Amino acid sequence: MAQRHHDLTDSAAGAPVTGDALAGYLRARATEFLRALRLQREGGSHGGTDEAAEAARALRRSARRISGSLHTFRALLDADWSEEIRPELAWLSGTLALEHAYEARLERLLLALQRLSGATAVPVQGAGGGAPLHGTAHLPDPAEASTAPRTAPGTAHPPAAPRTVAGPPAASRAAGSPPGTSRAATAAVASRAAGSTSAASRSASAPADSRATGTATASAGPVATAPGPVNERGTLTVGAAKAGALLDRQLTLARTRAHSTALQALGSSRFHAVADKVAVLASEVPLTPDAPGTDLAPFATAAEERLTDAVAALPLVTAGHPYNAEALVHGLSPDTAPHPQDAPWHQVRLLLRLHRYALEVLHGGDCPPDVRLIAAGEALDRHRDASEAAAAAAQAARTPRIAPATAYALGVLHADQRHEVEAARYAFQRAWQRHAVHTA
């Protein structure tokens, strides 16, 4: 299916890459780990949150590469030592990643709520001045006043052109902008909902005869709307504000707990034991007696074959058709476990990472960029983020005694993120198959 796209031997020197290159790679990654640990301690002691966050990312990066290399080339390393440190590095990387994951998930969901509520601009097709977007008010031009239908005699209100407004006033729509922080996003969604609520109340106070004829009441301020479309759009918008507040509470609490867990982990004896072993690794790599002269290419090839086999098991034919709705299957399942069809894709993401790390070992950390692997990895990252965001929306929808509008908004949000999952699968299929087509 997929063709090999890297030369797994050292073509420049004409000699195979041996275990000595693996030892050098592990020493370099261990040195990065210790350097990031020092920066993390300095940033925490001086109150620098940005420095501490960057140091935590560097710690995770080096820990993932050490752990992945130990897994791929485990036959060349001391078995007991490798099996002892590898799970500890995975624990450390996962613990440090939780806080950032919750923060990114909250921001993703709040921005999606804004987009679904119309608080952010949606790109239109075409550059010319075409028809207004669905859900925007169309105010009649003064020149159209003579052609506008007139109301029946005796109507207390002046004539007005029939119009349907499916959202808050245009000024409120223009004021919405993407937030810089999650708190700002929640406030923006709330103000959006407030505008829709006021519009709905003005629509409800319009005279019955005016609503019956489909005309709006002419008054100062925003134009009144027909009750049907306003209720439909207003339900999503009002619910979006409450859904955003609920997600903010839940994910902020989870992020706070993850931050406390990370701080406890960095101060635990378990972490210090890991740091001591990495410090030893920076000076001495426990290779087997035969490892220094062993060719590394077969191990890297095996990692690539595992990736290729896992990709072959994916439903790429289905994913190659956009809007196939495969990601929405079992979307209403009451099971709180992760979506079963996502697991093979997550496994491919991990195998792709191991393949990249193996290539780094072979090329001494100077692995040439592979556009195919980069595009495929980005698509799988988006797949994981959207899948976890959809699970967070579903979990929030299971909160007891929430309003129907809130549950509706969370359901729309869940479906939107599952569509993002489907789009990520489609992007991965396009990126992965492109190489096979070009080399066929």
Is this prediction's pTM over 0.95? no
pLDDT at 233: 47
Note whether 278 and 33 are within 8 A (CB).
yes
Tell me the mean pLDDT per 10 residues along the chain, length 440.
46 71 94 92 65 88 96 94 94 95 97 85 43 38 40 42 41 39 47 45 41 40 45 62 96 96 94 95 93 93 96 87 75 69 94 95 80 94 96 94 94 94 94 65
| Max intra-chain CA distance, the chain | 102
pLDDT at 9: 46
Measured on CA atoms in the order 439, 355, 320, 118, is the torsion positive or negative? negative
pLDDT at 237: 75
pLDDT at 320: 78
The CA-based angle 372-378-382, given to 5 degrees, is: 145
In Å, how far are 4, 11, 15, 19, 27 from 8, measured between CA atoms?
A: 9, 8, 11, 14, 21
Measured on CA atoms in the order 125, 128, 134, 135, is the torsion positive or negative? positive
pLDDT at 40: 85
User: How far is the C-alpha of 428 from the C-alpha of 247, rounded, in Å?
Assistant: 29
pLDDT at 434: 76
Note whether 300 and 361 are within 8 A (CB).
yes
Q: Which residues pair with 77 in a beta bridge?
A: 287
